[in-house]
A and B are shown apart, each in its own frame.
Chain A
Amino acid sequence: MSAMAAVGRALRAFGRFWRDFVIGDTPELALATAAVVGLAFLLAGNRVAGVVVLPLTTAGFLLLSAWRGRRRAPGL
């Protein structure tokens, strides 16, 4: 039983590590990545769209995330 418990603890720690690594305090960036992956598959057949849309979508999410992390004036 103690071995099972140790494995369970290790798995939970492993899951926590990946959750913190991928999502952490910026879930919008994890969402951005998922969106870029989804768009890449949607636009795979289109030569121009993928090349233009993927970087622009990524940059858009980056700006959104930076905006979310900005320092606000007290009371706002």
Chain B
Amino acid sequence: MHTSSTLVLVLAVFAACLVEMVEALTIVVAAGVSRGWRSALEGAAVAALVLGGLVVVVGVPLIRYVPIDALRVVVGALLLVLGLQWLRKAILRSAGHVALHDEDAIFAETVAELGHDGGGRPGNGRDSIGFAVAFKGVFLEGTEVVLIVISLGAAQHRLGLAAIAAAVAVLLVAVAGLVVSRQLSEVPENTIKTIVGVMLSSFGVFWVGEGAGVHWPGSDLAIPVLAVFFAVAYFAFTAFMRTKLPQPAPRVETMPEAAP
């Protein structure tokens, strides 16, 4: 296994986890602010434990019992579909066809919704709504990360390394959350999403080909080459899609009324 593909694996998992956890943090902080920190943090911690358990329960048997070529085709297909979805979203956002993800709006919306749930702010006591919202936020956002960790880790037999990269990203976001005690709207989410999309698509095409028997020149070194190809495609497609934005309707000049 080349160092380059290991590095790409770590970066892909780390960046994917970073993006998803920033979204989760927004929800956890909103739950903490409006329903009390104790329940919100407990909900987030339980969700993180469940997600970690999923990695072990699903990932380890995959590595041990599924033939590597079959695993690579399935995992490659999974990574490819996920990577293409992220890249598509990034292209449409960068080109202006879709609005950028707005963490501030999500934060305000979540706080408003939780405020309407009644019961007032419970302070430091246990609150089932705060727990459930934080749990759901972390679990749903984390599911994609778990899939990426298991897929990339299993295909390269580096499940431990992938899990560590994800855990470091979770810790980093948690620390940042404590420091700013607020949503991380300044994180360039679309840029990170683009990088992850490029990496997942590269891994996806590589593993599908490798599992099916395609011989890539340079073996694992083909992964960075594929990453460059998809990055170029991203920039080219974004520039092209920018030219296809609908033009604003021309302003109709009205004749000024004649003075009496």
Contact = CB atoms under 8 A, between A and B. Distances in A.
Given A29-B81, A62-B233, A71-B98, A37 B216 contact: no
A37 B226 contact: no
Given A54-B205, A70-B244, A33 B80 contact: yes
Contact of A70 (B97, B215, B222, B233): B97
Nearest to B240: A63
A45 to B, nearest CB: 7
Q: Is the interface of A mostly helix, strand, loop or mixed?
A: helix
A50 B226 CA distance: 13
B126 interface: no
B208 A40 contact: yes
B92 interface: yes
B80 A36 contact: yes
Contact of B246 (A21, A63, A71): A71
Classify chain B's interface size. Answer: 35 or more
A24 B85 contact: yes
A54 B226 CA distance: 10
B167 interface: no
B14 to A, nearest CB: 21
Q: Is the interface of B mostly helix, strand, loop or mixed?
A: helix
Interface string A32-76: 111011001101110100110011001101110111011111101
B230 interface: yes
A65 B88 contact: yes
Given A54-B208, A58-B205, A66-B241, A41 B213 contact: yes
Nearest to A61: B84
A54 B214 contact: yes
B152 interface: no
Contact of B201 (A22, A24, A47, A58): A58
